[in-house]
Amino acid sequence: ALLERWLRAHPDPREPPVLHPRVPFIGHIIGLLTEGANYYKITSTRSRHPIYALPMLSSQTYVVTSPHLANYIQRASSTLLFEPIILPVTQRMVGFSKSTLEIFRDAEAKKAGKPSFMDRMHNLLYSLMGPAEIRYQGKIVLDQISQRLHARSDGEMPLFEWCRELFSEVTAYAFYGPENPFELYPGISKEFWVWEEDMIGVMASPIGQVTHRKAYLAREKVVQKLTEYLEKGRGQAASPVIQARIRLHLDAGVPIEDTARSEFGMLFGTLINGSITVFWLLNHVLSRPQLVEELRAEIAKSALRIDQSTKTTSISFEALRSACPILNSVLRETLRVTAPMTSARFVTEDTVLADTYLLRANSVVQIAGGVLHQDEEVWGPDAREFNPHRFVNTPNGTRTGSTEAEKRSVHPAAFRGFGGGTVYCPGRHFAQIEILSLVAVLLMGWEFTQPKGEAGIRWNPPMYEKRTPIGVMKPLRDVNVTMKRREEMRGIKWSLQME
Ligand code: HEM
């Protein structure tokens, strides 16, 4: 307490204002653990500064709530690093060994000024997942979605569970090939989501295998199947990006089991945010009948082709991307209201931000996406509402307001759905192919009505806002619907195309 008092009395005047916890040392840690993504909203209401410091034990976390400063954080990528944060987090998440962690840290290469293991991984992902490189994999995922929807019969279902199963299976197929564990062992997808449900518990507990046994065992089952996948050489049919990742690991001397654990971490990136986003997008659209009609008209006009001779209806992803502004806007708006991304970076040396704020070495700085996404200054008075047309004119979004001056384009760093700067999600092009195409075919081909015996569909479940902010927020309950082919689309064969 004395030390804390001394530190409080001697801050550098350039340091961001400090928001002291109500319980000394650990108050903010307790707040984050109990309030999750919500906690930054609570502290930002108390602080009201564009950047402030939350002291935690002997260190501190700076929280950024202005798009202008978020932009500076993105640009200071030589001293504000993702790697010192993501490596220990991934190790706790997937459980690889200490020796593998050292291979990933690659101190030798860094000392010699050569690209480290993580640099090479970063370059590999960004070079193999660009819009052009991802087209072949895009075609596979679209074929998979078409085939699986054809095989589906009408009936009742829990929408979130259905979305995540379908999305997990088609995505795993596109990344890991036809002999991926999700394809060979149908129960594995469920195991993956059992782990996801309690992954924070497994990560936070020093003895997760005892205290959060169910989730821990589920993870180990998936890892075991991924290890078998690698041992049997099934990765040879994987996408180019996965083949290159596997080669990079094995060439660097990472054991097969830890390579499998690293791929388990990749599944976290590829499956979770996308599945949850599809659910929320459908929820926001299907609960607004007028928006459903508007989107159907947009897709029918710009992206749908009907071949009467073969009774095939095709939807072109390229047209969805470039000629369906409302659909694209709805995707970004869905992320804006459900994704409180925090872009955490480790401050490796004292850094002065925007010529004004001093960030101390060995601290953490986070961009509070959840706060930024609800800021009325940034988005206008309807910041807390879902506005499907917000991103129609520009991908950065337009501020709502009553005068022309108020209706200005939003700062490009305010939308945090895919991060930004050097850690701009490399999977975003692929996610866009899957999500836009899946939603478009569901809207054109199916109706979602209330299940028998129920008074209506219970749309808009509450979001799991109190979870530690790791991605798009999950719904706290599922939404039951009856999914039925539209009369005018019966007997039609669907084909999702890239072009
Ligand atoms: C809707 C779907 C998705 C969302 C909302 C999303 C969101 C994000 C965000 C916000 C970040 C930045 C994290 C930060 O700044 O700290 C990120 C990074 C990342 N994402 Fe995604 N993502 C999605 C889909 C995917 C897919 C399909 C992949 C598959 C490859 C992927 C792989 C990654 C990876 C590997 C990183 C870390 C990049 C690096 O180390 O530089 N994501 N994602």
pLDDT in tens, 33-46: 899 888 999 999 99
Give, using CA atoms, the residue closest to atom 6 of ligand 1. Answer: 418
Strand pairing of 304-307 and 51-56?
Answer: unpaired
- pLDDT score at 405: 86
- pLDDT score at 70: 97
**How far away, in angstroms, is 345 Cα from ligand 1 center?**
15
**How far away, in angstroms, is 223 Cα from ligand 1 center?**
21
Q: What letter represents residue 155's amino acid?
A: G
**Residue owning tokens 């990472």:** 254
191-200 long-range CB contacts below 8 Å, 24 or more apart?
191/218, 191/219, 191/221, 191/222, 192/168, 192/218, 192/222, 192/267, 192/271, 193/164, 193/168, 194/218, 195/219, 195/222, 196/272, 199/93, 200/467, 200/468, 200/470
Ranges of the chain with pLDDT below 70: 1-10, 469
Give, using CA atoms, the residue closest to atom 30 of ligand 1. Answer: 427
- pLDDT score at 10: 64
- pLDDT score at 256: 97
Q: What residues does ligand 1 touch, defined as CB less than 6 Å away?
A: 82, 122, 125, 129, 269-270, 273-274, 277, 335, 339, 341, 343-344, 417-419, 423, 425-427, 430-431, 472
Residue 273: is it exposed, middle or buried by C-beta count within 10 angstroms (0-12/13-18/19+)?
A: buried
**How far away, in angstroms, is 427 Cα from ligand 1 center?**
6
Q: Hey, which residues does 81 pair with through a beta bridge?
A: 346
**How far away, in angstroms, is 10 Cα from ligand 1 center?**
39
Residues 54, 21: Cα–Cα separation, whole Å:
8
The reply to whether 324 sits in an annotated binding site is: no
Residues 461, 474: Cα–Cα separation, whole Å:
9
Between vectors from CA 95 to CA 464 and to CA 220, what angle results, nearest 5°?
A: 80
Q: Which two tokens stand for residue 382?
A: 């309807």
Ligand 1 atom nearest to CA at 416: 10
Q: Which two tokens stand for residue 58?
A: 């002997």
Residues 15, 62: Cα–Cα separation, whole Å:
10
Pocket residue to mutate for ligand 1, from 104, 133, 134, 425, most atoms within 8 A of Cβ: 425
How far from chain centre, in Å, is Cα 252? 28
**How far away, in angstroms, is 418 Cα from ligand 1 center?**
6
- pLDDT score at 8: 58
So what's the ipTM on this one? 0.96
**How far away, in angstroms, is 309 Cα from ligand 1 center?**
42
Residues 28, 57: Cα–Cα separation, whole Å:
9
Residues 61, 364: Cα–Cα separation, whole Å:
5
Q: Which two tokens stand for residue 258?
A: 């830890």
Nearest to 83 by CA among 364, 355, 460, 357: 364
Give, using CA atoms, the residue closest to atom 16 of ligand 1. Answer: 343
pLDDT tens-digit readout, 386-436? 999 999 999 999 999 989 889 999 999 999 999 999 899 999 999 999 999
Give, using CA atoms, the residue closest to atom 18 of ligand 1. Answer: 425
380-384 long-range CB contacts below 8 Å, 24 or more apart?
380/406, 380/407
CB atoms within 10 A of CB 242: 21
